[in-house]
Amino acid sequence: NPLKNAKEKQHKGHYLAKTVQVVPHITDAIQEWVERVAQQPVKGTAKPQVCIVELGGTIGDIEGMAFVEGFRQFQFKVKRENFCCAHVSLVPMPKATGEAKTKPTQASVRELRGLGLSPDLIVCRSEKPIGNEVKEKISNFCHVATEQVICIHDLSSIYHVPLLMEEHGVVDFLVKRLELNIPNPRPSSLMKRWRDLAHRVDTIHDPVNIALVGKYTKLEDAYASVAKALQHAAIASGYKLNLEFIDASHLEKQTKTEEPAKYHDAWMKLVSSKGVIVPGGFGSRGIEGKINACEWCRTNNTPVLGICLGLQAMVIEFARNVLKLEDANSTEVDPTTKHPLVIDMPEHHPGDMGGTMRLGKRTTLFKEGDSIIKKLYRNPKSVSERHRHRYEVNPKYVAALEEKGLKFVGYDADKERMEIMEYPQHRYYVATQFHPEYLSRPLKPSPPFLGLILAAKKSPRSLH
């Protein structure tokens, strides 16, 4: 977070008591952030040749002005041959005429230039393919060559977009524009795998019904990474994902009394699903609903994957109903609980919800012996996944939980934090404290998600 970095520098006296301003302090922090991230290895220890940075929003938005200015300065700093600006613009086609309108693109490019950035590539988003005359018009009014104007129209799936961009010569343009020394810029093996993936997406029809029990389901984009990870796993397994969103609070007894229709609808969705995912979140709202969902999955042998808060809900449910600790809870929800199964982390300080979380990519060690999740990862000694949490399973209760059959098969490098949990007696009762969805890719689905999809459609033996 560039703003946070600038604030920390101010506290450390880096600015020598000067007033911290958007320019140059925040814009400098943005540039430093980009340079630092651009040096992080993608594969092994080799540094990447290209770093793609998405600047979201609309040109002219006040929220993005500092970033636009930061990139304007950055462009001058690294020189033209090391900076390429691709501008994505909507080309609407009103149904009344069906004619592609270029005025919005002309206006946005003009405003972008006024802020000091000139697009090297204009990507036109449209409902249908646009003709050469429209491209030439945009080229003429936006001062770019015709080959620098490409159209990405609506396709059967998003996985066809890279193939369409390749057809438009985007790869060759970037290699030439950035003066990249790449002998084979379009590896045939990779593109073949991607074409196969896009074709598979269009031809799979066998559905797999998964229910997502979350806290923020009013805005489904809140779980975009989880939904994409499920989709990656479903495609790799040969199934079409049918994802149902369930508001966790609708599974609680209070909703049954106050809004019985919502309660009934939520439980019908849960019962009819073949697999359930309980993702992360913060706060007490909906936690009892998540715990109820975990209990139903455990007692009905329905495959379930818990992530972050999902793991904590599964542990609390097990403690209440198997260990018979009726008061079991998280200190986040009930600070006075007699049985704190989930506690705040040692580095957490109350009052600073975002600044003291356990963040970033960290190593998780596997316990010796076999486990479903270890096999899904192809039996490594450890894995590196990204974290975003402040609470953990209380180590004092681990022995009691394991004695009743719940197994913690992965922990942190210090062997203090429990990071992977499973219930071997169950078809697929797996949870992770980390967020495996963040590293899921279309051609490399996340193992925990893959396990959930396979368990939802096949027998448990398919996982072994």
Give me the DSSP letters along 152-217.
Answer: EE--SSGGGHHHHHHHTTHHHHHHHHTT---S-SS-HHHHHHHHHHHHHHHH---EEEEEEEES-T
**For residue 420, which phi and psi values (nearest 5 degrees)?**
-135, 135
CB 402 within 8 A of CB 349: no
Q: What is the helix (H) or strand (E) element at residue 137, kind and residue range?
A: helix 132-142
Q: Is 297 a catalytic residue?
A: no
CB 165 within 8 A of CB 150: yes
Q: From the candidates 308, 332, 348, 426, give the one annotated as an active-site residue.
A: 308
Compute how many other C-beta atoms are within 10 angstroms of the C-beta atom of residue 46: 8
Question: Longest Cα pair distance anywhere in the chain, in angstroms?
Answer: 74
Compute how many other C-beta atoms are within 10 angstroms of the C-beta atom of residue 447: 23
- 3-class SS letters over 22-45: HHHHHHHHHHHHHHHHHCCCCECC
Q: Is 437 a catalytic residue?
A: yes
Among the listed residues 197, 98, 86, 229, the one whose alpha carbon sits nearest the alpha carbon of residue 152:
86
Sign of the torsion formed by the C-alpha atoms of 24, 26, 32 and 38: negative
Angle at 240 (CA atoms; ends 239, 243), nearest 5 degrees:
120
Q: Is 127 a catalytic residue?
A: no
Return the active site residues.
308, 435, 437
